Structure 1
């Protein structure tokens, strides 16, 4: 909820920091979004190795406290470049959700990991649902700056709750003898090609999703002809995928555990392609809202099932490592999506971003279909 409070309005906040044209705002928004993800992509593998040696709970405390400080400082920013620097600082401390996923995955029986991770994701999507609505109302009543301070408070609260209530039965990963170490980081995985395809899929899915985030409030503003409570409506539109995701994600996770996560994943790509494409051709916020609501179903099929397949096909002692890689690929997708999403919107228009996202989902589906055909034929056994 803390992160989603400010994400839909970051582009509007940038517009308030200077006298910028439409194309400048979209391109600056892409840069601001990308700064966090660029740094996160570099730092995530390091944090993953430390988590496997020191524990995942420590990483939860590090991430929540560090991002609280960065978020609070963003409320004092007076220039775009200060905002870029603080977003980069946030990237250094990123990783609360990925470490929570690694903690749950490492302490849940593998045959139930799909249901467990999908249930955990309802916390993420519930926050995605509540954050933009609360942030939109606060931005309308007070100011966008206030949402940064509330975000910092929520993250400090998360730090305290994690410190007191999260328990972890952690066993450090023993160091391998030098003679057993391999230069190939995928050598320890029974299905390295599958792991690489899943990590690439994370990048592509996140690329498509995040390319829309910098422009969604601007798209709503255009559809509303700059009249009415734009921040409130933008917050509601941004939250709608979370509503359907809350109901769809646990059910799809249980179905995947019984019938094969690969089948759920393929359904997610087909459904996402069908739902993203018409978003580029809508003429009202009502139609956009309906289609954004449906996107929550595809998100409930894609993100949890990729993580479930990574969990089921990774050695348990490398759980944090593989989730840190997943975070890095996600961060790279975030960075590329932010930059290219703003660039596409600035050169063409907002609708081009939705059309390009639909094409990306189709390309990712083709990649999985041809490179790992076992996903559509069999139920993969846990490693």
Structure 2
């Protein structure tokens, strides 16, 4: 088996687990914060929002930094650092005595992340051109599926084993990722003994700045769209469901439908993009995703919502691979890690922004407007991609 294929298997498992580690805390946070002695409902909501959001904000800041370190020291050291550090930090969350220590550990978790950035850079730089779309498409399923399935998995583990064990089990799995990475990931990396350029110089060396900005914004809009429904999912399912005894479970299934569809679609759409071009897949996926959001506002029961969320997952499965493939193709190898770091920052900001957008729009306008506004953002983005990416890459044969 070729080295990049072995690395792909380990990276997929590692990204899946680290993504779960980032997102699994969402359904258990309020319960754990109450366990730590906070009894006021308003304070529980406030601390939950801070503890959940701070990880993604800090991750957005540090992703380019770890991307730069990956370009300088190699990708494998960054994989080992991130998996071991996250394993220890998440495991330690099970021992905290108050909510403030929990928030500090969530902040540190955001600082130490970077596994996904290093994995994506490693696979992008190792994989030959003919298989890049399939490899990056397959890899992208790990991050999205882990993020979308994480809340469901966290809720299940909490119910089956207790709140603290969510952290212990996730931390132990990340240590297994560290061991697997150490033993099985191989990298031929030659360190360049030269001064690391500033981010300004790196950006000046990007040959397609306008194209790169469009791709980063598209990734931000995609993740924002996927997570805009997260804060309102349980409430929306509750309104749609006649049986209120299993609302949390049904909401988890609805939310996870997108992740399951993404696992199915991303490798296949990545493979197709190798043949017809990732810019065509990106444009088509944005249009379909934007349209699929609209009927979600008019569904009559949770199963109809689940069906359209599954369709959304199929469409979004073509977006993340397209983003990664385009970044790989238009970025010089020496700065690939840093640009992928910016891409991950855009994704983390999208997760946070989507959660805030969904909650605020629902509170002031109503749940159904979340779908209308998100659809509008995706379709506007599709128009932008058509003029800035699709038409440009059809004229310039760089894909």
Same fold at TM > 0.5: yes
Gaps of 5+ in 2: 1-15
Deviations 1:282-326 (A, max 9, x none): 332111111111111122111110111000111112111111111
Match of 2:363 among 342, 346, 359: 346
Farther off after superposition, 55-64 or 5-14: 5-14
Deviations 1:189-227 (A, max 9, x none): 222211111112122222222332333344334434672
Partner of 2:381: 364
Shift of 1:73: 3.4
Partner of 2:329: 312
Partner of 2:65: 46
Shift of 1:28: 5.5
- How far apart, in 1, do the equivalents of 2:101 and 2:214 lie? 37
Match of 2:75 among 38, 51, 56: 56
Superposed counterparts of 1:277-288, under 5 Å: 277-288=294-305
Calculate the TM-score normalised by the size of structure 1: 0.87
Do the aligned partners of residues 240 and 188 (structure 1) sit closer, same or farther apart at CA in structure 2, a change above 3 Å counting? same
1:13 equivalent in alignment to 2:29: yes
Match of 1:158 among 156, 163, 177: 177
Query: Could you say which structure has the greater relative contact order, defined with CA pairs below 8 angstroms and 6 or more residues apart?
Result: 1
Partner of 1:211: 228
Match of 1:97 among 93, 116, 120: 116
Shift of 1:279: 2.0
- How far apart, in 2, do the equivalents of 1:276 and 1:77 lie? 40
The answer on whether the counterparts of 2:67 and 2:117 sit within 8 Å (CA) in structure 1 is no
1:68 equivalent in alignment to 2:87: yes
Calculate the TM-score normalised by the size of structure 2: 0.84
* RMSD, aligned α-carbons: 2.9
Gaps of 5+ in 1: none
Alignment size in residue pairs: 378
Shift of 1:95: 1.8
Do the aligned partners of residues 134 and 43 (structure 1) sit closer, same or farther apart at CA in structure 2, a change above 3 Å counting? closer
1:148 equivalent in alignment to 2:167: yes
- How far apart, in 1, do the equivalents of 2:144 and 2:44 lie? 28
The answer on whether the counterparts of 2:121 and 2:336 sit within 8 Å (CA) in structure 1 is yes
1:301 equivalent in alignment to 2:318: yes
